Amino acid sequence: MLLPPTPAAIRRAAAALRRGQPVAFPTETVYGLGASALDPEAVRRVFAAKGRPDDNPLIVHVTGLPMLRGLVRGLPPAARKLAERFWPGPLTLVLPKTKAVPEAVTAGLPTVAVRVPDHPVALALIEAAAVPVAAPSANRSGRPSPTRAAHVAVDFPGLLVLDGGAARHGLESTVVSLGDPPRVLRLGAIPVEELRAVLPGLVVATRTRARAESPGMRHRHYAPARPLVLFRRSRAAALREALAADPKALLLCADADAPLFPGRRPVRLGGTPAEIAHGLFDALRTERRGSVLLAYALPRRGLLRAVMDRLERAATRVV
């Protein structure tokens, strides 16, 4: 059930959260499937609804630093610097947790991932529920993250969804753990370059390390309803052959590259890196008729680095 986010609808969603019922809400990144972070039963319902592996911890959403008190064991200086610069916003910090955070939220880890969403509806909902809200992206496990309320309704018919329109970023938050050195565990809506301007020592975790520290990175993600083949930059000729061999193949394409494929009517991702990041999950959920999806590598800089991470994880095959 999609509801416009009126004050009455937000009160209704907050009451559902307090009763232990999951509800979906918009954030600036993607839609979240929320439950009270202090209610292990409600959190288990979120895992069950998503079909999420139970070793994959959730992000806890709060309205600001005061609500964090009691959930984390202090803020190291590096965390404070990042929070001051990027909250509210698409940055998730992994910090040592207190006993107040149930193990169901953190999948038994000693740390908890937290963020302050930059979205008036998300903030109003958490405020009205007066509890921190644990929320993964509101998709069935393994599917692309939902950037619109309608995507949530496809994956969870009947669920209460506050409809805030299209998500502003369309790509999930960047996840940073504050060990020594601080590490990016998941690339996301804040590019590494911007984080390094505040924390020069920040490194990007290798895949092996990210998988070890952030269980979500182990699982298959973002799978479209049909196969996706990703072509490396050096394989332009192979991409042309694949397109020529299959007239029904749908090409995901940055606007600037569309003229390279005359007569193909590609699925347009957008022009600027922000538009491409915004268009990616929508494109992966395209309802256009066709056979396979074909995509090609984009330069790994700024936001496009996170876009490439998602394309690689969504791909059935990399050529």
Per CB under 6 A, the list member of 14, 17, 24, 27 interacting with ligand TXA is: 27
Question: Within the chain, what is the greatest distance between any pair of CA atoms?
Answer: 60
175 forms part of the interface with ligand TXA (CB under 6 A): yes
Q: Across the beta sheet with 267-270, what order do the strands follow?
A: 267-270, 250-254, 293-296, 228-231, 317-318
Q: Binding segment for ligand TXA among 149-157, 211-219, 246-254, 307-315 (CB under 6 A)?
A: 211-219
32 forms part of the interface with ligand TXA (CB under 6 A): yes
Question: Comparing C-alpha atoms, which of 47, 80, 50 is closest to residue 65?
Answer: 80
Question: Comparing C-alpha atoms, which of 237, 193, 230, 197 is closest to residue 309?
Answer: 230
Per CB under 6 A, the list member of 36, 111, 141, 147 interacting with ligand TXA is: 111
Residue 42 binds which entry of ligand TXA, Mg ion, none, CB below 5-8 Å type-dependent: none
Per CB under 6 A, the list member of 103, 194, 213, 275 interacting with ligand TXA is: 213
Distance, CA of 246 to CA of 166 (rounded, Å):
32
Show Cβ contacts of residue 57 under 8 Å, excluding neighbours closer than 6 positions: 105, 106, 107, 109, 112, 113, 215, 216
Residue 173 binds which entry of ligand TXA, Mg ion, none, CB below 5-8 Å type-dependent: ligand TXA
Distance, CA of 292 to CA of 243 (rounded, Å):
10
Distance, CA of 8 to CA of 225 (rounded, Å):
36
Segment 154 to 173, residues that bind ligand TXA, using CB under 6 A: 172-173
Specify the residue, 249 or 303, whose C-beta has the smaller distance to ligand TXA.
303
Specify the residue, 59 or 304, whose C-beta has the smaller distance to Mg ion.
59
> Distance between alpha carbon 192 and the CA centroid of its chain, in Å?
16
Q: Binding segment for ligand TXA among 87-95, 244-252, 261-269, 275-283 (CB under 6 A)?
A: 87-95
214 forms part of the interface with Mg ion (CB under 5 A): no
Is residue 189 within 8 A of residue 137, CB to CB? The reply is no
Specify the residue, 57 or 132, whose C-beta has the smaller distance to ligand TXA.
57
> Distance between alpha carbon 74 and the CA centroid of its chain, in Å?
26
Give the footprint of ligand TXA on this chain (CB under 6 A).
27, 29-30, 32, 56-59, 90, 92, 94, 106, 109, 111-113, 135-137, 172-173, 175, 185-186, 213-217
